[in-house]
Structures are given as structure tokens and as C-alpha cells.
Homo-oligomer: A and B are copies of this chain.
Amino acid sequence: MNAKTQLNRKPSRAVFDRNGIYAVLDEGLVAHVGLIAGDTPDVHPIVIPMLYARDGDMLLLHGSPASRLLRNAKGGRDVCVTVTLLDALVLARSGLHHSMNYRSVVVMGCASEITDPDAKVAALDRLVEHTVPGRSKQIRPAHDKEVKATTVLILSLDECSMKVRTGGPIDDLDDLDEPSWAGLVPLGVFIGEPEPDEGSTGDPVPGHVAFWSRGPGQVNGRAG
């Protein structure tokens, strides 16, 4: 871990377990990617949601070559990629101790572009697989022009850190007699029934899609 990702407060919430970090990255669906936009001195931060995938100890991002963020990022600017999973609302007996149970990973570094066609195809497959395991084998291979029409960035996971909050509310002792309800409201990802597109061979839903929908109300199905 580099000094940049050292957490400077609430160290009890900091976790430096690489497998735990990888598990959060594998469970998440969307990353929030931060970048410094503009030119000195007229710079400002920008944060954009992006699809991503983990590939071993690297992180993959992709998008249109026209994306300002990707153009900037592949130009060697530092990025910060944050993935957050919400696990519960924490309702305490005082406003101050209200909180959220969450797992959040922050990755910092300088992204580079994947230009080798074979490596790019493998990365694009990995991006599909991250969201829907098994799907890349169920769709036709990408055409050359499609590969060219996508920018893929790769970022090392060397500089990453995780913060986690678990458990119930932590109230002041003086507040334990307060009459207000206190506790957790669990949160997760709701997954609905798949909706076939017109003309799709929709029945039965194939296994790699059904993986996502083992019944309404499945929480974090992809993590199971």
C-alpha cells in the first residue's frame, strides 16, 4: 500500500485484506471513476459511473473513444476508482450515530490503454464476464471494427484500500434508555425476473441469465 491510499481516520474501518478487496470488486456492478479534468489552473474533479472488471491484480475500464474521461485517463492522468456496496441502514438512538453498513474499495493509479487486439478482445470478454458470468461464450465474437470502436483501460490494483462498517448502531451509554427504535435495515441488490427482448429466444431463460434471477428478492445473487 502506498502512502496515497493510507487512510487517515477511522482506522478501525480500514481493511487491508487483498482477498476481501477482490471480493468487493467482484461483487460490485458499477465503479465511480474520478479524474482531474481541465488544464492547470482551471481544473476540477469529475466523477462518472462506469462498468468495470477485475482481471487478477488489474482493473479494466472501458467506453467509447469519444469519452472525454477515457481520453483524459489514457493520457496518463491519475484516476481514482471507487466501488461501494451498501449492506444496511444503521438507525441509532441519536442522529449523530446514524450510519450505513457498507464495503467500499478505493483504487488509485495511472491507467494505460490496451492496444494489442488480442489482449483487447480478452479484456472485453472479461468485462462481459464480470457482469454476467458465462455470457461471453453465448454471444458471437466481437467484429474487428467493434474492438476498434472501444477504448479499454487497464489499471494496477497495487494502490488500493478498503473501508468496511458492519454491525449494529453504536450508541452513547446515556442514550440506551431512549425510546426510539434502533437497529439495522438490511440492504442489497434486488434482481427482477429477466425480460426477453422482442425476437429473443426467451423461453427458457438460459442458465447464465437465470444465475441472475434465482427468484425475486435474491440479494447479491452474483456473490452467492
In the complex, the count of this chain's copies comes to 2
| Bound Cα distance from A10 to B212, whole angstroms | 28
Beta-carbon contact of B29 and A91 below 8 Å: no
Contact of A195 among B149, B184, B198 (CB under 8 A): B184
Cα A209 to Cα B40 with chains together (Å): 48
Query: Is A79 located at the chain interface by the 8 A CB criterion?
Result: yes
Shortest CB–CB separation between residue A28 and chain B, in angstroms? 10
* Listed residue (A45, A108, A149, A213) with the most chain B CB atoms within 10 angstroms of its CB: A45
Residue positions of A touching B, CB distance < 8 A: 4, 8-10, 29-30, 32-36, 40-41, 43-49, 51, 64, 66-68, 78-82, 84, 86, 88-89, 91-96, 98, 100, 102, 104, 106, 108, 124-125, 128, 131-132, 135-136, 138-140, 142-143, 146, 149-150, 168-169, 171, 175-176, 178-202, 205-206, 209, 212-213, 216-219
